[in-house]
Structure 1
């Protein structure tokens, strides 16, 4: 890992686990005791998006390399991680979203884990996101919301004075009540005057096509484990920061961290198939100290909002010495621009490699259209060089070959799956010039 790991075949074709050991990423291991994709009759289906992105790329060696793969049979890969499933078009953390991510070749799927009033674990990105990710405001359970729907205040000239708002938590409802809800695309209309208008805010580059009354099936954490085992993929649960004060009715943060792991043990899932995550360093250290089999490949999520907030080399070395083996930063933290506007690894990325960490990047394809030149959080360090949709392939390539990430979270896993099924890691990268 310390010797230019980004240029090695291992970090393109493997996910880093434990103390540097690796698992081949182009095949789902048989250690889950399940059939292969071929035996199931399941094929990886990438759809038209990878071709669209490749065709939109600037001319160059990478485009030629990827074009040559457009008719190649794709493979499932651990390099492709389904971020909340496939939420670019499917309601996140639903059965339909997970199944879509699986079909797109993701070798790892994510359940963000929080808990209900009766302390049952469920898959939600945040404990308090039910107003924007489910239909709760349109049901009788709206009465449980800690902050009921409040309409937007709009001035006489049409300007927005204050946006519409609501806050509804899983910790205010039981598991039975949770199961009665349906997932929807994560969004809200800030100008809403009614709950119906509030839930109708999906971005125009996403879709509500798969958010009907017969879809959006919410999942418990245990149900996600069962589904992922059936599909034969690996699992990366994220222990979400509670919105309630802990302990919650006697339920401590350590209880929460332990219960999440216990549900894998109860299902008979080996630790090597699980990558537990948290933004909370104490959660990761708890797993390392109390359940080292799972802690060995626990993922410490970096929560910096800008480059100036990233830890320095000394801080990274301290984390490494504590037993943390894998760090997952946002994409912007790992990339920078050189004098010719080429994408290159950031200083922080080089420090991660020097400290010996495995690196996972989050999250691709959450920024909408790239050609508008205002791509927000994930591209803040490189936005100057992002001018077309096809540039996302350059981002993946730089993360893979130059930074040396072992996996990429994506809201549309097919894009990463295509890249990982195509690229020959031994081939020298040719930078494009702008």
Structure 2
């Protein structure tokens, strides 16, 4: 089958797989890799990637489905996870939070139901922490938490594209805020929300591996006797109960204490625990100045941390008009830390610099033809071992072409 033929049947293959639950024998990357390659400047990288057109694409651990495939599918839904697997993501992420009855579910935040589901259009809106308030000269708002509702109530919701219209005067308009570079094409029918345990079963059936993220609670902990340690342990326990080997799981958290908890109490899982680095929000932190890293990269390694995951921009800087590894990246590698980056194709087109995720190199970015240039620097020069992506096909194609496992 040619690459053009693969592209033409991507949507059909996805829809059949989603409907039946079947795992197709071939990875389908669709038209996007070819589209990006065609826009590249002439050169060796373009020639190499173009030469891989028509060759089979393999599932790869380098390609991580960030919340599934949320560029076009509602995040953390069955449909999004299946799309990510179909596009070759070897690892798929469930962000983990908990309901009122302390059951684990897949959501990017405990308090995002008002932007990621249809809750405001249901009777469950009455249970939200803050009901919808129309704009009326200000900004429309709402706050609905998984901890506001039970697991059974959560399962009654439909997933939608993560968005809200802050200028809305009605609930209907508030829920209709999808960015122009995303799409509601696959969201209109409603996405199937998932418990954490259901995501484990589904991803395993699709041949994938796991990177659950323990999300920071919006409620005060302990929550009705449920402590942070209980929460961290419960997430690991659900993999053990499902018979998933620790070697197939990369548990994540922005909270270093969670990572250290796993290292101490679940060492088999802790060896692959990922410290999601949110230190960019600290006053004085600068990825170009190692003296501002607290703790230092070596101190993290000495505590048993083996994986660190910063946003893409922290790993890159510009030198003489070229993208190069940042001092942050060099320090992490020197300390022996494995690096995972996030999140590719998260913030739209590179035409205007690419948004938040590419801020450190925006001055040398002028168009989407440079997507693979960014990826190539991350893979070859920084030496990342995995990349979260909102559209895993782009990364899977590159990794397969370059022989990355």
TM, length-normalised to structure 2: 0.91
Residues 33-77 of structure 1: per-residue CA shift (max 9 Å, x gap): xxxxxx964210000000000010111110111111111111110
* Residue 194, structure 1, aligned to residue 170, structure 2: yes
Q: Secondary structure at the match of 1:153?
A: coil
Gaps of 5+ in 2: 1-21
Which of residues 36, 46, 62 in structure 2 aligns to 1:53?
Answer: 36
Residue 223 of structure 1 corresponds to which residue in structure 2? 198
For 2:375, the equivalent position in structure 1 comes to 396
The answer to whether the 8 Å contact 2:229/2:261 transfers is yes
Partner of 1:367: 347
**Aligned structure 1 segments of 4 or more residues deviating by more than 3 angstroms:** 304-311
Cα distance in 2, alignment partners of residues 201 and 40 from structure 1? 33
Q: How many residues align?
A: 377
CA drift of 1:424 comes to 5.4
CA offsets, 1:155-213, max 9 Å, x none? xxxxxxx2110000000100000000000000000110011000000001100011123
Alignment of 1:395-414 (within 5 A): 395-414=374-393
Task: From the superposition, tell whether residues 163 and 82 of structure 1 become closer, same or farther in structure 2 (CA, over 3 Å).
Answer: same
| Counterpart secondary structure, 1:352 | helix
String of CA shifts for 1:116-135, please: whole Å, max 9, x gaps. Answer: 00000000000000000000
- Residues 189 and 313 of structure 1, relative CA distance in 2, 3 Å threshold: closer
- 1:298-317 aligned within 5 A: 298-305=273-280, 308-310=285-287, 312=293, 315-317=296-298
The 1-side partners of 2:23 and 2:285 are apart by 48
Q: Residue 285 of structure 2 contacts residue 293 of structure 2 at CA under 8 Å; is this kept in 1?
A: no
CA contact (8 A) 1:313 1:351 kept: no
Aligned to 1:3: none
Q: What CA deviation, in whole Å up to 9, does each residue of 1:206-253 have, x standing for no partner?
A: 00011123x300000000000011111110000000000000000000
5+ residue gaps, structure 1, are 1-38, 155-161, 426-434
What residue is the counterpart of 1:357 in the other structure? 337
Alignment partners' CA distance in 2, 1:361 and 1:41: 28
Partner of 1:258: 233
Q: Where do 1:115-154 residues align within 5 Å?
A: 115-154=98-137
Secondary structure of 1:382's aligned partner: helix
Distance 2:363 2:286 in 1: 21
Look up the match of 2:153: 177
Which residue of the partner structure matches residue 91 of structure 2?
A: 108
Q: What is the distance in 2 between the residues matched to 1:378 and 1:289?
A: 32
Q: Is the 8 A contact 2:23 2:206 kept in 1?
A: no
